Amino acid sequence: MPRTQFLGTGLALPDRVVTNAELSQVMDTTDEWIRVRTGIEERRWAREGETGAALGHAAAIQALDAAGVTSGELDAIVYATSTPDHFAPGNGVYLQKLLGAGTIPAIDIRMQCSGFIYALSVADAWIRSGTYRKILVVGQEIQSTGMDVSTRGRNTAVIFADGAGAVVLGPTDDPSRGILSFDLHSEGAHAELLWVDVPGSMYHPRISEELVHAGRHFLQMDGKEVFRHASTRMPESVRAALASAGCASGDLSLLIPHQANLRISEMVAKALALRPDQVYNNIQRYGNTTAATIPICLDECVRAGRIKPGDLLALTAFGSGFTWGSCVVRW
């Protein structure tokens, strides 16, 4: 049975940079308040008319070029986003159209911040089973259009941002490399601690003036509970994935955690007894781009030489659902 290897990576970010100082002009916050609580210094927000599918396409083109693969060689697309351009269909088919990829399957994974890990698990199963060989996996979000950019919504508006990352995956018969293991979980009892209520099909109509006036279409988060669960679940999951791969945290070359909050990443690193140079963070520059955070980090690390052949990586995420999971990779 083949393993799944990473053939190429890519990223795309809006060119609009939103600083903490800019946000302090429209809500009761300060640069210091945001930095101390989240570690974020600036983030990228899409400009009016900029689509998620376009960001996904730009990241995909980079990943395909890096892999030396054409869109016509792809067997499938797995697209992770919680913020599709339309209620239906998902962004996967729009990316397929932009790429001119033909009538291959293009599916959407809606697992929010854990989306990229779950998307990898689907693609890995397809490759290991021999169903498909070359698969494009994308994590992309435009969160800025769903933020309450006011003092009422500052606990989310200062954190969430926009971007896309992509990887091309393929099979390898080399037993010393590739994806080694996954650890996946969810706990629906906490679903409404981090959620977007509307539009939703339980309402008739799915969205109304009353619901909008109440702010139910904005992302809502109980930050303290999310912090508490994430800082515990993420290191637990990394340990479980490492154990499944026959490894330990001391074997890791690099941990790439979901960029939810710099303080969470620091607590995860401490729980796993990792040095600062063993953990990659870019939330300072990009904020929390949900399903896009890990593939954006991956691409930056690859292009900066932070990841070398033979390195052992752990990818881990936690988010709405609650859902969380980890993946261990021998590069």
> Which residues are catalytically annotated?
113, 258, 288
Q: Is 201 helix (H, G, I), strand (E, B) or coil?
A: coil
For residues 115 and 87, is the Cβ–Cβ distance under 8 A? no
Surface-to-core class of residue 61, CB atoms within 10 Å of its CB (0-12 exposed, 13-18 middle, 19+ buried): middle
Q: How far is CA 165 from CA 80, 226, 286, in A?
A: 10, 24, 12
Distance CA 99, CA 53 (A): 10
Q: What are the structure tokens assigned to 97, written together?
A: 């159209």
For residues 299 and 165, is the Cβ–Cβ distance under 8 A? yes
Q: Is 258 helix (H, G, I), strand (E, B) or coil?
A: coil
Distance CA 186, CA 3 (A): 25
Distance CA 35, CA 38 (A): 5
